[in-house]
Structure 1
C-alpha cells in the first residue's frame, strides 16, 4: 500500500491563496526574500510545501492544508 503525499510548489501556493496574481509576481516576491516558510526565508520558488507548513508573507501567516 502506498501513501501519496500531496505537495504544492511555493509559487503556486502564493497564487492559490491570492497573494500573487501571476507566477512571475510570485517569483519576484520569493527571490526578493519576502516569503518565509516555517520561520526561514525561502528563495526557491519550487520549494515543495506540504500540509502543516506555514508560509509568512506581507506580515500574514498562511497554514498549508492540502487535505481538502
Structure 2
C-alpha cells in the first residue's frame, strides 16, 4: 500500500508555525482544531510526533496527520 502524495503548500515566508501551517494546508479547520490534533498526538513532523503548536517549519519539512501529508514550499518566482 503506497502513501498518499505530499501536498505542496506555498508559504509567504519562513519559518511558519505548525499551527498556522495546519490551517493553511487545510488539515485543520481553525486554530482550535489544530490544537486538538496536536494535543491528541496525531501530528507527525518529519516522521516524529510533534505536540508544539509553535514548532517552526521550513520549506521541505513534511507534516502528516492520518493519511494527509503536506510540506511548506517557498513561493514560486512570478518572473520565472
SS in 1 for 2:64: strand
Match of 1:33 among 25, 28, 41: 41
Q: Which structure exhibits the higher relative contact order, with contacts defined as CA atoms closer than 8 Å and separated by 6 or more residues?
A: 2
Normalized against structure 1, the TM-score is what?
A: 0.85
RMSD, matched Cα: 1.2
Runs of 4+ in 1 over 6 A off after TM superposition: none
Say if 2:71 is the partner of 1:63. Answer: yes
Gapped runs of 5+ residues in structure 2?
1-12, 76-80
Task: Please list every run of 5 or more consecutive structure 1 residues that lacks an aligned counterpart in the other structure.
Answer: none
Q: In the alignment, which residue of structure 1 is the partner of 2:7?
A: none
Residue 53, structure 1, aligned to residue 61, structure 2: yes
TM-score (norm 2): 0.73
Given candidates 7, 24, 38, the residue that maps to 2:32 is: 24
Q: Does structure 1 retain, via aligned residues, the 8 Å contact 2:27–2:68?
A: no
